[in-house]
Amino acid sequence: MEMNELLNELYSYSLHGIKLGLENIQKICDSLGNPEKNYKIVHITGTNGKGSTATIVETVLLKQGYKVGKYTSPHILKFNERIRVNGQDISDEDITKVYGIVREKIKELEITPTFFEVTTAMMFLYFSMREVEYVVLEVGMGGRFDATNVVDSDIAIITNVSIDHTEYLGKTIYEIAREKAGIIKDKSYVIVGDSNPEFLKAIVEKKKDYTNVLEKYKNIDYKLDFKNFVTNIEIDDKKYKLSLFGDYQVKNFLCAYEALKRLGISDEVIMDAVKEIKWQCRFEIYKNEPLTVLEGAHNIDGMSNLRKIIKQGYKKDEVVLIVSILKDKKIDEMLEICEDMSDKIILTSLSENPRGLEGASIYEHSDKSSIYEVCEDMKKSYEIAKSFGRKVIVVCGSFYTCEKFKKEV
């Protein structure tokens, strides 16, 4: 099967929507001989920070010399990014091979799985075929009924909880935290990065014994270096130069650091590895002239974290934002945060995405002041942004916005 045809067939499983539950994935894994039991698992959930935390753990374990698989979603540019072994995306050839096997099992089982269930089964099988020692596993959504949750994790990390995906996970912090705490298993060493009492109540109900990195490492120091765009973190007189930039990355680093120390990794190896971490669209410096930053910032939490960074380094009249936001997000509130960062905001289109909107529709959620401009074309939006001659251009509002920028500019 030709690659485009294969991916179209794979994406057609999306028509089955989001079905939370483990029945299908368990059946597929059983029929494959339970490949998910063949490696140690670091399982990561949370509203924000999953991908960054996963990438820090992956990079350090690789530096230590382990064979490591990592599973994340969504992809930014191509499907292959979701499934990685030893820092390399899965090849088209291997996608074809594992999809062929999983597809046969689905036919035999006579089930109708979702896109995420199929890709999760492919990932478990591929990691087993490649004989990885560790798998760093990011949940798709929630935790308890997420397809990744057929595993028995060695370490369970819950980065934080804010209100997101309420139609699936619940309407309160406590309800959502209960869903995310579903990844905690009897043998899991539990790490959290949130001190909200409602969040902690849900964690304690699942397991009394856990480590909150915000408590354990409350005396650390950190500083953002706006010249080199690194986050300098100091723990017990040891200095870590984290190449992921931003205040919010400190907590992600601490969640990963606690997991890595639990796995017996030395400070020296961690120091060495974190200097070279790369993670797309998390304050990614796309270009230096003019300084162009790509930042997913796809919900209120993400946008607030971006604002915190921008306000430390730049004045409002030094920043231009290019923004597009998905229709299932809190657009009004996200735009208010944008207004606090810049007095020049260009709203652009993601209408080709089923969850996307045109810039004009996003404009209807704004206060319609003169700081807004609508330009549906991404390339033209960037030209307009450059014409203002400001210090920094930030592309944000969704990972899909960043993906489109990379493809079209």
Structure confidence by residue, pLDDT tens digits, 114-139: 999 999 999 999 999 999 999 999 99
- Name the pTM for this structure: 0.90
Distance CA 258, CA 191 (A): 7
- Quote the pLDDT of residue 164: 64
Structure confidence by residue, pLDDT tens digits, 56-66: 999 999 999 99
Structure confidence by residue, pLDDT tens digits, 297-347: 999 989 999 999 999 999 999 999 999 999 999 999 999 999 999 999 999
Q: Is domain 284-408 given the CATH code 3.30.1330.20 in the classification?
A: no
Cis, bond preceding 74 (omega within 30 deg of 0): yes
Its CATH architecture, for the domain 3-212, is 3-Layer(aba) Sandwich (3.40)
Q: Please give the DSSP secondary-structure letter assigned to residue 74.
A: S
- Quote the pLDDT of residue 77: 82
Question: Residue 229 — φ and ψ, nearest 5°?
Answer: 55, 50
Say if CB 158 and CB 152 are below 8 A apart.
Answer: no
Distance CA 61, CA 342 (A): 39
Confidence of residue 168 (pLDDT cuts 50, 70, 90): low
DSSP string, 120-131: HHHHHHHHHHTT
Q: Which of 194, 402, 400, 395 is nearest to 310 (CA)?
A: 395
What does the pLDDT average to over 344-362? 96
Distance CA 393, CA 378 (A): 13
Q: CA-CA distances (angstroms) from residue 227 to 123, 145, 148, 244, 314? A: 39, 43, 39, 13, 12
Say if CB 404 and CB 350 are below 8 A apart.
Answer: yes
| Segments making up each domain of the chain, as ranges | 3-212, 284-408
